[in-house]
Amino acid sequence: MKLIIVSKRHGRTRSFTFGGWTRAVLSVCMLGLPTGFGVWLGQELIQGDGADLFTRDTTRSWNQALDEQQAELSNTKRHAKEQLAALTLRMAELQARLLRLDALGERLTSIAKLDQGEFDFSQPPALGGPESAGLGDAYQAPDFLQVVEQLTSRIENREQQLDTLEALLAKRKIQRDVFIAGRPVKKGWMSSRFGRRTDPFKGHVAWHNGVDFAGKLGSEVIAVASGVVTWSDKRQGYGQLVEINHSNGFSTRYAHNAEHLVKVGDVVKKGQVVALMGSSGRSTGPHVHFEVFKNGRPVDPAAYIHRTHR
């Protein structure tokens, strides 16, 4: 390869002759310069405005995605707090209902006079049994909120049943308490019956509206049924008299007392001591004159004295 160089100013020429290796090196340099320049220019473009554009778009996208995620996280936290507050309130309601059910159970146990150890509502029910082969796959726990709703429904059903049972037992107890039955004294004997008899003071035949129970002075006089005291004072012929209204048209009288232990307006229970036996009024000795009235008319107390308790 031969290279000729011409001088523009003097018009002289100079020639150079290159061998094989020289020609190869010169060819590589001539071809590599444009390629290297292109690569350098591309890198400059990427590192320049193109790089800036790529970085801004990426940063903007990432910031937008991060804002969306933060907003979603805030909504999730707020929803979780609301759910937790609602669940806490529901659990408090269930606990209150369970306490009420325990109280009702204990009250029913007391009313029914069951053994204390037989129904203990303060302890979970005892369960047991030998281990047996499984009947299926392992138990899969249902949704927690679904369990709470089911428990709420079961508690509501039990409350209604216990309320009904309590009302029935309370009504039965009231009926039993106001049911007139038994003797008006704990100790004593019947000294005079209801109906025709000889008057103890005048000796002629007279009508006796009650029965007399003789006993020891100061013996206890008890109410034969629950009710409200409507009289607790002296009355002509009766001496010291206690009268009790038992509702349903029934009332009883306890006369010739030495001392009264109740006053008008008191609510007395069946078997409660209302007076002490005496001999006040028209009386020949310590006894209690016992009368039973039905719809304002005296009836034979014997039918109620020997009555079977409900």
CATH number of the domain residue 267 falls in: 2.70.70.10
For the beta carbon of residue 182, count every other beta carbon within 10 angstroms: 17
Give residue 10's pLDDT. Answer: 55
Is residue 265 within 8 A of residue 293, CB to CB? The reply is no
Assess if residue 88 is contained within a domain: no
Is residue 278 within 8 A of residue 256, CB to CB? The reply is yes
Looking at 74, 99, 116, the residue that finishes a domain is 74
Separation CA 250–CA 295 (nearest Å): 6
Q: For the chain, how many structural domains are there in total?
A: 2
Give residue 97's pLDDT. Answer: 74
Assess if residue 212 is contained within a domain: yes
- The angle subtended at Cα 138 by Cα 134 and Cα 140, nearest 5°, is 145
Looking at 51, 74, 97, the residue that finishes a domain is 74
Looking at 74, 98, 127, the residue that finishes a domain is 74
Give residue 215's pLDDT. Answer: 92
Q: What angle separates helix 144-178 from helix 51-112, to the nearest 10 degrees? A: 20
Assess if residue 140 is contained within a domain: no
Separation CA 103–CA 169 (nearest Å): 15
Mention every residue, 6+ apart, whose C-beta is less than 8 A from residue 223.
Answer: 184, 244, 252, 254, 268, 269, 270, 271, 272, 274
Assess if residue 116 is contained within a domain: no
Give residue 67's pLDDT. Answer: 78
Assess if residue 233 is contained within a domain: yes
Separation CA 221–CA 261 (nearest Å): 10
Assess if residue 288 is contained within a domain: yes
pLDDT by residue for the chain (310 residues), tens only, comes to 555 555 555 556 666 565 555 566 556 556 555 666 566 656 655 555 544 545 666 777 777 777 787 788 778 888 878 877 877 777 777 777 777 777 777 776 676 665 555 556 556 666 666 776 666 665 555 566 676 777 777 677 666 666 666 666 666 666 666 688 889 998 888 999 998 888 888 888 889 999 999 999 999 999 999 899 999 999 998 999 999 998 888 999 999 999 999 999 999 999 999 999 999 999 999 999 999 999 999 999 988 888 755 5
β-pair partners for 214: 189, 287
Mention every residue, 6+ apart, whose C-beta is less than 8 A from residue 102.
Answer: 121, 122
Q: What amino acid occupies position 167?
A: A
Query: Quick one: which of 292, 271, 274 has its CA closest to 224?
Result: 271
Assess if residue 47 is contained within a domain: yes
- Domain assignment of residue 229, given as a range: 189-305
Assess if residue 146 is contained within a domain: no
Mention every residue, 6+ apart, whose C-beta is less than 8 A from residue 217.
Answer: 258, 277, 278, 279, 286
| Cα dihedral sign, 214-216-217-218 | negative
Tokens 């029935």 map to which residue? Answer: 168
The per-residue DSSP string of 283-306 comes to -SSSEEEEEEEETTEEE-THHHHT
Separation CA 278–CA 286 (nearest Å): 5
